[in-house]
Amino acid sequence: MALVEVKNLKKYFVNNDGLLYKLANKGPIKVKAVDDVSFKIEKEDTLAVVGESGCGKTTVARSVLRLIEPTAGEILYRGRSINNFDKQELKVFREDAQMILQDPRSSLNPRFIVEEIVSEPLYIHDQIKDDLNLLDRVWELLDLVGLSKRYSELFPHELSGGQARRVGIARALALQPEFIVCDEPTSGLDISIMSAVLNLMKKLQQEYQLTYLWISHNLHEVRYISNKVAVMYLGKIVEITDTDTIFNNSVHPYTEALFSSLRGINDDWNYKEREIIQGEVPSPINPPPGCSFHPRCKYSFDKCKKIEPELKAVEAGHLTACHLYN
């Protein structure tokens, strides 16, 4: 049984505020942030969700933890639907599933010292026996993420970006979770700090058998950290398979375009000669009919403009949503 299973998740954001809109009687604006997404994450796997901004990565991440209520669809955790959890069950679920938020600094309470930040989950979930043990536990957690004891007395503004990120990781580990949603944990960090964070996350995964849902737009990092990749475009998964396949034998034209923009330091090509995909991601308020990628796709044909492709297997464990392969 997969640890996490997402079935036909949909999240539409509806905006019908504003006097002018009401007067113009245009009806509510519907943004299909996530539109019919399904995937599974096996225990101890890392599924990376990649895509450009606005494709719905973060909305998926938040829905999986039920931080936002989905419009439709189901999320199963150990085979049980989290949508129907009552308050008590949800609290237990929150012990098992944690999140590392995107901005390292603004996700820490500026009025708390590090000790309070890291121990707060322990208070909320009544896991404190006595205060002496508590400080030991905080030190242990800080040690785990490579921070010395003295950091427990500092405020977030006294930390560098890399240190703040480590505190965020320590907080996520406090309740010994088994599933962590990481929302671009390395964005905004310098290269040397980013590599330290990646190494740490990998080490922690091996040590504690953690399962990650890793949101990212950095494909280099995805290659390093994940073993499964889902590529999203305009609220839909267009291709999902294991990391090696996506880097070597991807099939969807968008994946091809995205990965051909990828530039490593050992590649011998330059931006001048390279054929580059044109156009930009269309607005999710008014997505094109049929396959939402067809206006930018060089292989598109009539069917793409009318019928939306379904996610289907091209081989075992390799799914794509493209009419070329059906």
Partner 1 sequence: MPDKILKINDLAVEYRNKGKYLRVLQDINLELDSGEILALVGESGSGKSTLGKTILRLLPDSARIAEGSIFFKGKDICNLSEKDFNDQIRGQEMAMVIQNPQNALNPVFKVGTQILDVLYFKSKKQKSRKELKKEAVEILKKVGISDPEYRFGEYPHQFSGGMKQRVMLAMAFISNPSLLIADEPTTALDLTVEAQILNLLSNLVDEYKTSILYISHDLGVVAGLSDRIAVMYAGRIVEVAQTRELFDHPNHPYTEALLKCLPDYQKTEELQTIPGQVPDLDNYPPGCNFHPRCSYSFGRCRQEDPRLEEIASEHFSACFLNDR
Task: State in angstroms the smallest separation of the CB of 237 from partner 1.
Answer: 18
Size of the site for partner 1 (CB under 8 A): 40
Amino acid (1-letter code) at residue 14: V
**Inter-residue contact 257 to 274 (CB < 8 Å):** no
**Inter-residue contact 154 to 114 (CB < 8 Å):** yes
Q: State yes or no: residue 258 binds partner 1 (CB under 8 A).
A: yes
Q: State yes or no: residue 144 binds partner 1 (CB under 8 A).
A: no
**Interacting span for partner 1 (CB under 8 A) from 27-35, 60-68, 188-196, 313-321:** 188-196
Q: With respect to partner 1, which residue has the nearer C-beta, 76 or 281? A: 281
**Interacting span for partner 1 (CB under 8 A) from 16-24, 58-66, 130-138, 256-264:** 256-264
Q: State yes or no: residue 224 binds partner 1 (CB under 8 A).
A: yes
What residues pair up with 39 in beta bridges, in sequence order?
Answer: 6
Q: With respect to partner 1, which residue has the nearer C-beta, 36 or 221? A: 221
> Alpha-carbon distance 193 to 66, whole Å?
30
Task: State in angstroms the smallest separation of the CB of 96 from partner 1.
Answer: 29
Question: In the 3-class helix/strand/coil scheme, how is 170-235 assigned residue by residue?
Answer: HHHHCCCCCEEEEECCCCCCCHHHHHHHHHHHHHHHHHHCCEEEEEECCHHHHHHHCCEEEEEECC
Count Cβ atoms within 10 A of the Cβ of residue 118 and give its class: 0-12 exposed, 13-18 middle, 19 or more buried.
buried
Q: State yes or no: residue 20 binds partner 1 (CB under 8 A).
A: no
Q: State yes or no: residue 162 binds partner 1 (CB under 8 A).
A: yes
Q: State yes or no: residue 142 binds partner 1 (CB under 8 A).
A: no
Residue with tokens 């309070």: 116
Q: State yes or no: residue 249 binds partner 1 (CB under 8 A).
A: no
> Alpha-carbon distance 207 to 169, whole Å?
15
Which of 25, 86, 87, 269 lies at the binding interface for partner 1 (CB under 8 A)?
269
Residue 180, C-beta contacts closer than 8 angstroms, at least 6 positions apart: 97, 98, 99, 100, 172, 210, 211, 212, 213
How many C-beta atoms lie closer than 10 Å to residue 91's C-beta?
13
Q: With respect to partner 1, which residue has the nearer C-beta, 178 or 256? A: 256
CA count, 13 A, side-chain hemisphere, 125: 21
Residue with tokens 């969807």: 252
Q: State yes or no: residue 278 binds partner 1 (CB under 8 A).
A: yes
Phi, psi of 8 (to 5 degrees): 45, 45
Q: State yes or no: residue 150 binds partner 1 (CB under 8 A).
A: no
Q: With respect to partner 1, which residue has the nearer C-beta, 90 or 262? A: 262
Which of 20, 192, 207, 316 lies at the binding interface for partner 1 (CB under 8 A)?
192
Q: State yes or no: residue 148 binds partner 1 (CB under 8 A).
A: no
Residues between 41 and 80 with contacts to partner 1, criterion CB under 8 A = 52-53
Q: State yes or no: residue 220 binds partner 1 (CB under 8 A).
A: yes
Q: What is the contact surface with partner 1 in residues (CB under 8 A)?
A: 52-53, 160, 162, 190-192, 194-196, 198-199, 217-221, 223-224, 247, 257-258, 261-272, 274, 276-278, 280-281
